[in-house]
Structure 1
Amino acid sequence: MVRLRRPSAQTVVVVNALADDPVAWRYGYELGRQVGLKAGSLYPILIRLRDRGLLEATWENDPSPGRPPRHLYRLTAEGLRWAAELAAVPVPGRVVGRPRLREA
Structure 2
Amino acid sequence: MTPRMTTSVLKVVAALLADPAAERYGLRLMQDTGLPSGTLYPILVRLERAGWVESRWEEADPAAEGRPNRRYYRLTADGVTQARHEVAAMQLQMSRATAPGTRPRPA
TM-score (norm 2): 0.77
Instruction: Please show how residues 1-104 of structure 1 align to structure 2 within 5 Å.
Output: 1=1, 3=2, 6-62=4-60, 65-89=65-89, 90-92=92-94, 93=97
- 1:74 Cα deviation from its structure 2 partner: 0.2
State the SS of the aligned residue for 1:24. coil
- 1:70 Cα deviation from its structure 2 partner: 1.0
Supply the distance in 2 between the matched residues of 1:82 and 1:71 (Cα, whole angstroms): 23
Q: Percent identity?
A: 43
Supply the distance in 2 between the matched residues of 1:76 and 1:84 (Cα, whole angstroms): 12
Letter of the 2:21 counterpart: V
Supply the distance in 2 between the matched residues of 1:11 and 1:91 (Cα, whole angstroms): 16
Give the ranges of 4+ consecutive aligned residues of structure 1 lying more than 4 Å apart after TM superposition: none
Supply the distance in 2 between the matched residues of 1:66 and 1:6 (Cα, whole angstroms): 37
Structure 1 residues not aligned, in runs of 5+: 96-104
Equivalent position of 2:104 in the other structure? none
Max Rg structure? 2
Structure 2 residues not aligned, in runs of 5+: 100-107
State the SS of the aligned residue for 1:72. strand
- 1:83 Cα deviation from its structure 2 partner: 1.4
Which structure: greater helix fraction? Answer: 2
Alignment: residue pair count? 93
